[in-house]
Chain A
């Protein structure tokens, strides 16, 4: 659970940095595109920033499945495990 909190905080920082969305808005149930209004190019930036921050690789076909912030947390935690 502690892992999730840290991962969420890092993702919130990344989303804020790239889109200006407030960190507090970035919660696991939110959809990047529908709730946080992230467009497809910003999503590419977010995925890349996550790769850099967490030292993982997110293949293009997988990145398209990351619909919600929670999906991203799960993917990142699994990739780091």
Chain B
């Protein structure tokens, strides 16, 4: 066949816009207070609270796995819409806690939810994982590649805590947050401002599995982080990217109802609010206080919990921004479901 007689491939177009239709979450069932944390590390409850805003965190039990937590969070989000798994055509899991190179966690979760024909894959973008995945979901829907996408951020970081590091051990926590994303006649997911400060790639790292051989009793690779460097980067670059996300959405800071940054550390949230010069009218998410830092899961968990507590309402405009190991960042303005 010559090129002149070859038929042209047809292209498809999806919905004009997408939106988050519903959220769901699950938290590790074990409450670990700062007092208990201080039986494991050399610190004081007051010191931890003052440096992080955290008073307690949630650790998953042995039975609560990334797979079980992700599936449950997904189920809760779908149930709110009276949807079943087979009505989802893509499942994206954002996680750094799935320790099997293949298959993806999303494939297991798709199976558990009965999403038998859905596209399923994982995204490794650390604490920006949810925002990266939401960006993908929005693009899939607008391209026509998918109609309904289940995005789940899930982590079991308690397994990777370095108890010898009294600067980070108290931060991390376990849980899953899910969002069902679908087509919409109005824009529910604004333009993403995303990227990677790859010159800082070593600022936050999880060990290679081969390094576990040096501490076999711990079973898992451990998290290492230069907190000061992350703080400075968040204060400068992440602030600038957050401002850009607001501008790209075509709104001004005063139009925002709520700011939900990745719940890394309440001091970082304070710095972001201060440097963004957000007006007092904007509700600031402080979900970290009794939840800790759940990396890719922190934003969807926070959205769902803030809805449960009545701190935010359907239709509110929210700025979300994730940032973490890479150093990756992604932020967008969204409409609260």
Contacts and interface: CB of A to CB of B under 8 A. Distances in A.
B121 interface: no
Nearest to B167: A40
A45 B235 contact: yes
Contacts of B271: 41, 45
Residue from A39, A41, A45, A48 whose CB has the most chain B CB atoms within 10 Å: A41
B227 A48 contact: no
A65 interface: no
Contacts of A34: none
Given A45-B235, A45-B271, A48-B235, A39 B50 contact: yes
B267 interface: yes
Contacts of B30: none
B236 A41 contact: no
10 contacts: A39-B50, A40-B227, A40-B228, A44-B228, A44-B231, A44-B235, A48-B232, A48-B235, A48-B236, A60-B228
B51 interface: yes
Contacts of B251: none
A41 B231 CA distance: 7
Interface string A42-77: 011101100000000000100000000000000000
Interface in A11-50: 39-41, 43-45, 47-48
Contacts of A39: 50-51
Contacts of A45: 235, 271
Contacts of A41: 51, 227-228, 231, 267, 271
Interface residues of B, number: 11
A60 B233 CA distance: 12
Contacts of B232: 44, 47-48, 60
Contacts of B213: none
The B contact surface, by secondary structure, is helix
B229 interface: yes
The A contact surface, by secondary structure, is helix
Nearest to A39: B51
A18 to B, nearest CB: 9
Nearest to A52: B236
Nearest 8 A-B pairs (CB), nearest first?
A44-B231, A44-B232, A41-B267, A44-B228, A41-B231, A40-B228, A48-B232, A48-B235
A64 B271 CA distance: 20
Interface in B291-334: none
Contacts of B229: 60
A44 B234 CA distance: 11
Contacts of A44: 228, 231-232, 235
Contacts of B267: 41
A41 B233 CA distance: 12
Given A47-B232, A48-B235, 10 more contacts: A40-B227, A41-B51, A41-B227, A41-B228, A41-B231, A41-B267, A43-B228, A44-B235, A45-B235, A60-B228
A47 B228 CA distance: 11
Contacts of A48: 232, 235-236
B243 to A, nearest CB: 16
Contacts of A60: 228-229, 232
A63 B198 CA distance: 22
A47 B271 CA distance: 14
A2 to B, nearest CB: 31
Residue from B228, B235, B236, B267 whose CB has the most chain A CB atoms within 10 Å: B228
Interface in B235-257: 235-236
